[in-house]
Amino acid sequence: MWCAAPLASAAPPAEPPPVGAAVGGERLGQQGVQVIPTGGTPRLPTGLTGMSWLVADAGTGNVLAAYNPHLRLPPASTLKMLFADTVLPKFDRSAVHRVTPSELAGLGAGSSLVGVKEDLDYKVEDLWRGVFLSSGNDAVHVLANMNGGIEQTVRQMQERAGVLGAADTHVVSPDGYDEDGQLTSAYDLTLFARDGLRNPDFRSYCATRDAQFPGAVDKNTGQRGTFGIQNTDRLLGKYPGLLGVKNGYTTNAGSTFVGAAERDGRTLLVAVMHPTTYMKVYDETAALLDWGFAAADKVAPVGVLVQPKTASTGDAAAAASAGASAPAKAPAKAAANPAAKAAGRLPQAGPPEGESSARGVRSWSAVGAAVACAVAAGFWVAGRRRRRWARGAVATLPAASTVGGSTALGASASDPETAGPAGATAIGRRD
């Protein structure tokens, strides 16, 4: 029997930011809440529990507010955004690949799976739906092996992180599975999301709410069936204007989430890492998005999301090596609109034909069931010094009630991550 998501989890192993100037501006390296109010600035939401969070304008790159944005924490499946940033442009989405047994070897115990089977053919686009919707580590491993292997993909992801300016990130596995030393930050996750949303394919996959995934071959009829998969992003289709991007949960990382939403021509990004309970990652993201849209023109930026490095900024070698060794198993996919990338704009792209996406607004009141049961999370004991750095110097939030009327989301027993269909992450599992 599947149990609902955990109500609480132990603090993950946190590390202070690397020594040196903080990427994106001095204030982003300071502990506590960073916000610069101007006239008429709405108050920040109360009750935020995330160990780290950040609100940014995706178009301008301005960071509107942040809390310990460079604190290094385990990423869970949000690291799959960096995997997609690195590998997605290399293969045509219509290319077909036959999965071998070796490509499914080495999956971590309890990994979330979409249901990829050996000795069957899959389109590249089906594998990416498995990555984005079901957070399938099996789909990640197949694509990583198509890309030359796990080790090469991890190396290229680390190089891509460097190109993006993500100095807090250390990659150990391509899927976000809990590994010693695998860390990132809210700031870096926001960079990964911003970069990915410039790619129309990335944008359409993360906006897809449900799809059909290729199944096994019927032994009696010889016909291959399909089964439905659903996006485990709880805000998709519920928060107005949400575009994606990626959620994650592991025993050690707790809940992590990066969300992007568009309103009146403005796209905001919010990253939240390790709130005190599972569903709070969505509630707090929604509250910060509400605040960001209300405050975007009424605060001074506390920092900036850096632009990817190019040859002109002295990083030509890293940029080249990040894509130099892609295997020739499938035709290369054309890159996203270079003009849009250069301008920092996010190209608009709907989902592929036959897929549903987050269009329109559903009533948040439809999500009303409370979490069914609590499960004790495993403890990963961090040093007292690290915990004190993360929790000890908490700046006082401006007193206020929640901005924008955000409604808390309760977990439903039919939710993909809690009820346990193909691709769901069980309690105690790791992404």
**Residues 142 and 118 sit within 8 Å (Cβ to Cβ):** no
Beta carbons within 8 Å of 55's beta carbon, 6+ residues apart: 63, 64, 65, 66, 268, 269, 270, 288, 289, 291, 292
Amino acid (one-letter) located at 333: K
Q: Which residues pair with 239 in a beta bridge?
A: none
Amino acid (one-letter) located at 397: L
Which member of 9, 77, 185, 255 is catalytic?
Answer: 77
**Residue 165's closest CA among 278, 64, 25, 261?**
25
**Residues 382 and 391 sit within 8 Å (Cβ to Cβ):** no
Tokens of 232: 């485990």
Which member of 9, 80, 246, 412 is catalytic?
Answer: 80
Known catalytic membership, residue 80:
yes
Which member of 9, 52, 134, 135 is catalytic?
Answer: 135
Beta carbons within 8 Å of 134's beta carbon, 6+ residues apart: 112, 113, 114, 115, 213, 229, 230, 232, 416, 422, 423, 424
- Active centre residues (catalytic): 77, 80, 135
